């Protein structure tokens, strides 16, 4: 069953805090997460069909089998697979699992940086150790060839500070902004 804690937290607490902090007149002008993109890129050596399938299965597992757009690309050299989480339930479920469970399994974690926010309204993170996800702990040897997971969170607004405040409200650990 999906947990709706982060969805509830956004709707009834975070959104109201952002409205008061930025003096927003219309509730629809509050920044929100449009989608989360999970993507894996493969090396030339990993171009076997089985490994590509395992990459897609990995994305399926860490998103808890939620509905999204699965894209498998094979253009010239770069090869990868991508999962777009586009519904609010899938976005908040993944965000909750990532913030509360996965982040704290990262070895030598040094918090996220404000520099990860772009001017185009995205927050990009590269996860190098994929064993942090509790969904694959038992079967990690099947996924050990996967190197990096790119997570992109796309916002409805391009304001870095509003996007930063939104994610930090979800208890995502950030370095102090000076």
Query: Which pLDDT score is estimated for 85?
Result: 87
What does the pLDDT look like over 4-22, one tens digit per residue? Answer: 788 899 999 999 999 999 9
Answer whether 0.85 is exceeded by the pTM.
yes
- 51: in domain: yes
Query: Which pLDDT score is estimated for 21?
Result: 93
Question: What residues of the chain score a pLDDT lower than 50?
Answer: 1
Query: Which pLDDT score is estimated for 178?
Result: 63
> Is 55:145 a contact under the CB 8 Å cutoff?
no
CA angle 77, 152, 146 (to 5 degrees): 50
Query: Which pLDDT score is estimated for 19?
Result: 94
> Is 143:54 a contact under the CB 8 Å cutoff?
yes
- 21: in domain: no
Query: Which residues in 126-152 are b (16+ Cβ under 10 Å) and which e?
Result: ebeebbbbebbeeeeeebebbeebebb
- 154: in domain: yes
Query: Which pLDDT score is estimated for 1?
Result: 43
- 66: in domain: yes
Residue 79 structural domain: 31-106+122-169
Number of separate domains in the chain: 1
**What CATH number has the domain bearing residue 38?**
3.30.1440.10
- 81: in domain: yes
Dihedral sign for Cα 59, 87, 134, 1, please.
negative
């Amino acid at each position: 069953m999906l947990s709706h804690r982060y969805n509830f937290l956004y709707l009834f607490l975070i959104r109201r805090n952002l409205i008061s902090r930025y003096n927003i007149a219309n509730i629809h002008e509050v920044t929100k997460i449009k989608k989360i993109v999970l993507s894996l890129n493969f090396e030339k050596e990993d171009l076997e069909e089985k490994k590509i399938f395992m990459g897609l299965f990995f994305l399926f597992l860490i998103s808890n089998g939620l509905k999204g757009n699965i894209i498998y690309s094979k253009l010239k050299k770069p090869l990868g697979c991508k999962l777009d989480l586009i519904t609010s339930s899938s976005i908040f479920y993944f965000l909750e699992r990532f913030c509360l469970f996965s982040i704290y399994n990262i070895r030598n974690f040094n918090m996220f940086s404000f520099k990860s926010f772009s001017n185009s309204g995205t927050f990009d993170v590269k996860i190098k150790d994929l064993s942090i996800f509790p969904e694959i702990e038992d079967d990690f040897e099947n996924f050990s060839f996967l190197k990096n997971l790119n997570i992109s969170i796309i916002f409805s607004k391009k304001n870095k500070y509003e996007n930063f405040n939104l994610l930090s409200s979800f208890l995502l650990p950030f370095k102090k902004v000076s």
